[in-house]
Structure 1
């Protein structure tokens, strides 16, 4: 097992969370923080851009699908009107006219 006497000596140092608005920072520290934040924002925007493009293409495909289906169904209605009109012309005349 590990030597218990050494555990107290080998504590790892963790990054200290700071608040730039409250803590006194040097100009170099502030600039470093800004560079790191900018790098993080660039990384996030690349991911978001890809998602936005995929979402835009999906929405566009749905819109075009609805648009195409609307034209298709309207053209089918015209065919049905023509068939109904032919049926009326060919139908036997009754004395009700």
Structure 2
């Protein structure tokens, strides 16, 4: 089951949040490893990673990633900043309270 949360303003930090992003990278050896490294070096735990074929180009994939933490937390900001330089495309879908 998947859920979509819509809000006119970003969710505030609760201390137990998740952040969802979507991104794409060049199709090359080690691309997935390069995506995961910024999370590990920043101490951010991934809770989901899923790939879907892109509609734009053959053999291009979009990755959907959920991680623990809020986009306003320093460790999450650090990971996303480092990740941005490794991606063709990166979109932060948002942060939200994690279900307990």
Shorter-normalised TM-score: what interval?
under 0.3
In proportion to residue count, which structure has more strand?
Answer: 2
TM-score when scaled to structure 1?
0.21
TM-score when scaled to structure 2?
0.20
